[in-house]
Amino acid sequence: MTIIGIDLGTTNSLVSYWTEDGAVIIPNSLGQNLTPSVVSIDDNGDVLVGQIAKERQITHPEMSASVFKRNMGSKKKYILGSKEFIPEELSAIVLKALKEDAEHYFGAPVSEAVISVPAYFSDAQRKATKRAGELAGLRVDRLITEPTAAAIAYGLHLRNTETKFLVFDLGGGTFDVSILELFDNIMEVRAVAGDNYLGGEDFTEILVNLFLKRHSLTASELENKTLSLLKKQAEVAKRAFSEKKVATISCPINEETLSLDITLEEYDAATKHLFQRLREPVERALSDASLKISDIEAILLVGGATKLPLIRSFVSKLFGKLAFANINPDEVVALGAGVQAALKGKEASIKEVILTDVCPYTLGTSVTVRKSQGFHEPGHFLPIIERNTTIPVSKVERLYTIYDNQKIINVDILQGESRLSKDNIFLGELNVPVPPKNAGEEAIDIRFTYDINGILEAEVTVVSTGLKRNIIIEKDPGFMTPEEIADSIKNIAHLKIHPRENHENKLVIARGERLYEEKIGSDRQEIARLLMEFEEALDKQDPKIIEEYRNKLNNIFDAVDTKGGF
C-alpha cells in the first residue's frame, strides 16, 4: 500500500506520493495542489475543508477556523457553531481531507503517512501531530522536519560530498531558518531559528496599510468584509510584483472604488523593517551552528512567500549567491515528505539515507544554587540537552542533595532558554526518595533522552540505592488521555464531511455568497441572480449543464475578484 507524504502547513497543506519519476503532488477535489488549512462547518453541520472553507471564513467567521497549527500541542478551544475543537482535531480534519484526496486518486485506501513538522516543533507539538494523523485514520510512524524534507526534494541527500546548506522558509505567517549539513549520507539539522509571527501575510499587510494611508482611512473604521476584500486585493497586487514593476490595488469603499498604484521601489522601502526581521534569525542560526555566511554552500527557498522577487534578491544579496528555487517553493516540503514516505516503504528506486535532526529547545531541570553569602537560592535553570543538539541524544547530569537529612529530590523538567526556571516552560516533574544523609552525600543521575521523533523521556536513578524512575511528562500542554483520544476519534468519525463530488459546485456558491456580502447595489443583485440561476442548473441534475454554468460563473467571479466589480 502506498505511503503518502503530507505537508501540514499553517496556511496551506499538500499531499504527495512517490512514482518512478520522483515525488508528485496529488491534486484535491478541486484539482488544486494546495489545500488551504481552513476548516468550516456549513449550515447542515457538514464539515468543509480547504478553499471552500476559506471562502466561508469571510462570510461565516464564527463557523470557521484557520492558522490552528500555531496552537498545535495546546488545548486551545476553537468553537465552530455548536461544535468545539482543539488544534489537533482541526488538523485531523485537514489530514482526513488530504487522505480522501489521495484515496480518490489511487482508487484504493491509504492508511499510512509521513507528515512534515517545523524543525522547532516541541515534543508536545510533534506528539499532537502524530495524534492528528491517528484521529484521521492514518498511521504516522515517522515525522520529518520541513527543512529536511525540502533538502531531500532537491536530492541533496544523494550528494557524495560534504555540504552545508541553509533552508529559508517563509510561509504565510511563519519564518523558519534551518542550517543542515550532509556528510557520509547523513543529513543533520545543525541549527534552527525563526520568527513565529512573520510571513507572507505581513508583506500583504504592508500593502493594505499603504492603501489605507493614501486614502486617510484606518482599518478599524472599515467593516470586516471590506477589510477582507481589501486584503484579497492586496494579495493579488503582491503576487503581481512577480511580473510587474507597478501593482494596483482597487477596492470599493463606501460606494466608491478607491485605488492605489504602487511601484516596486515604494514597496521595497515600505518593507525594509520586515527584511531586518528576516535577517536576525539567519544570523542566530549561523552563530548557533558556528558558521559564517561563506560556509553555506547552498540556500534553499521554501514557502510561498519566497516567490516574491524582493525576497529572492534579498536572499541572494545576503548570501552572495543565488538560492535554489527551481522546485516550486510551496510544494517542495510535500515533495520531500513523499520521498521520505518511499524511503520508509523501502521501494528500491531511491538511495536510503539516515536522517538526524536537532532538539529545537533547551531541555533541562531546576536547581538550587549556593550564593556567596552562604544562602541557597532555588529556581535556577540547569540545561541538560542544549538547543540545537543533534538527536537522537541522551545526556546525564548528576545532582546532589543540598540539605542535611534531605529525603526527597524534586526533579522538574523544563524547556526554554531562560536563566530562571520560572521563565521556562514546565513540562513535568518527579519526586525521588533518597536516604537521609549529610548534604551533598546523596546524588541522583538525571538522564534526558530525546528521540528521532522529538519525544522526550527522562529517567532518574538514585546513585546509592539504584532506584530508577522513568519520568512521564504529565503536564504536557496537549496531553490527551486514552479516553479523550477515543472520544476525539468518535467525534471526528461522526462528522459528516461534505461529499467531494460536489466540492466544485459548493465552492462556486461559497464564492458567490462571499461576493454578495462584499458588494452592494446592482453588483449585489447581479450576484444574487447568477447564484439563483446556478441553483436552478443544479436542480436539473444534468452534469453537462452544471459544468457549463459553473465555468461561466467562475470566469465572472474571477473577473469580479480581480477588478473589484463587474
Residue among 229, 253, 308, 393 that touches ligand ADP (CB under 6 A): 308
Segments of 232-344 assigned E as strands? 246-253, 256-263, 298-302
Contact flag: residue 36 with Mg ion (CB under 5 A): no
Residues 443-472 that bind ligand ADP (CB under 6 A): none
CB of 14 to ligand ADP, least distance (A): 8
Choose the contact partner of 412 out of ligand ADP, Mg ion, none; CB within 5 to 8 A by kind.
none
- Residue closer to Mg ion, measured from CB, 9 or 73: 9
Alpha-carbon span 341 to 7, nearest angstrom: 12
Contact flag: residue 70 with ligand ADP (CB under 6 A): no
Q: What is the DSSP letter of 324?
A: B
> Under DSSP, is residue 76 helix (H, G, I), strand (E, B) or coil?
coil
Alpha-carbon span 510 to 194, nearest angstrom: 35
Do β-strands 298-302 and 163-170 pair in parallel, antiparallel, or remain unpaired?
Answer: parallel
Residue among 134, 235, 459, 561 that touches ligand ADP (CB under 6 A): 235
Choose the contact partner of 308 out of ligand ADP, Mg ion, none; CB within 5 to 8 A by kind.
ligand ADP
Contact flag: residue 329 with Mg ion (CB under 5 A): no
CB of 331 to ligand ADP, least distance (A): 9
Stretch that binds ligand ADP, among 210-218, 233-241, 314-322, 413-421 (CB under 6 A): 233-241
Segments of 134-214 assigned E as strands? 139-145, 163-170, 175-183, 186-195
CB of 391 to ligand ADP, least distance (A): 23
- Residue closer to ligand ADP, measured from CB, 101 or 201: 201
Alpha-carbon span 332 to 27, nearest angstrom: 15
- Calculate the CA dihedral of residues 53, 55, 61, 65 and round it to 10 degrees: 30
Crossing angle of helices 200-214 and 272-288, in 10° steps, is 160
Residues 169-208 that bind ligand ADP (CB under 6 A): 171-174, 199-201, 204
- Residue whose cell numbers read 508536545: 124
- Residue closer to Mg ion, measured from CB, 50 or 171: 171
Site string for ligand ADP, 274-303 (x = CB under 6 A): -----------------------------x
> Under DSSP, is residue 185 helix (H, G, I), strand (E, B) or coil?
coil
For residue 543, count CB atoms less than 10 angstroms from its CB and return exposed for 0-12, middle for 13-18, buried for 19 or more. Answer: exposed
Cα end-to-end distance, the chain, whole Å: 49
- Residue whose cell numbers read 503518502: 4
Stretch that binds Mg ion, among 6-14, 17-25, 484-492, 538-546 (CB under 5 A): 6-14
Burial readout 332-345 (b: 16 or more C-beta within 10 A, e: otherwise): bbbbbbbbbbbbbe
Choose the contact partner of 200 out of Mg ion, ligand ADP, none; CB within 5 to 8 A by kind.
ligand ADP
Choose the contact partner of 174 out of ligand ADP, Mg ion, none; CB within 5 to 8 A by kind.
ligand ADP
Residue among 2, 5, 12, 412 that touches ligand ADP (CB under 6 A): 12
Residue among 239, 395, 469, 500 that touches ligand ADP (CB under 6 A): 239
Choose the contact partner of 387 out of Mg ion, ligand ADP, none; CB within 5 to 8 A by kind.
none
CB of 34 to ligand ADP, least distance (A): 6
Residue among 50, 147, 171, 416 that touches Mg ion (CB under 5 A): 171
109, 94 Cβ separation under 8 angstroms: no
Contact flag: residue 147 with ligand ADP (CB under 6 A): no
Residue among 5, 9, 454, 512 that touches Mg ion (CB under 5 A): 9
CB of 201 to ligand ADP, least distance (A): 5
Alpha-carbon span 353 to 356, nearest angstrom: 10
Contact flag: residue 9 with ligand ADP (CB under 6 A): yes
> Under DSSP, is residue 435 helix (H, G, I), strand (E, B) or coil?
coil
Residue among 149, 229, 301, 305 that touches ligand ADP (CB under 6 A): 305
Contact flag: residue 330 with ligand ADP (CB under 6 A): yes
CA angle 171, 177, 182 (to 5 degrees): 120
Kindly give, in sequence order, each residue whose CB lies less than 8 Å from that of residue 506, ignoring residues fewer than 6 positions away: 48, 52, 498
Alpha-carbon span 565 to 518, nearest angstrom: 10
Alpha-carbon span 158 to 162, nearest angstrom: 11
Alpha-carbon span 383 to 373, nearest angstrom: 25
Contact flag: residue 454 with Mg ion (CB under 5 A): no
Residue among 2, 11, 145, 365 that touches ligand ADP (CB under 6 A): 11
Contact flag: residue 54 with ligand ADP (CB under 6 A): no
| Helices and strands (DSSP H and E) totals, the chain | 14, 28
Enumerate the active-site residues. 7, 69, 146, 169
**456-462 β-sheet, strand order:** 393-400, 443-450, 456-462, 468-471
Tell me, by CB under 5 A, how many residues bind Mg ion: 2
Q: Which positions lie near Mg ion, rule CB under 5 A?
A: 9, 171
Q: Which positions lie near ligand ADP, rule CB under 6 A?
A: 9-12, 171-174, 199-201, 204, 235, 238-239, 242, 303-305, 307-308, 330
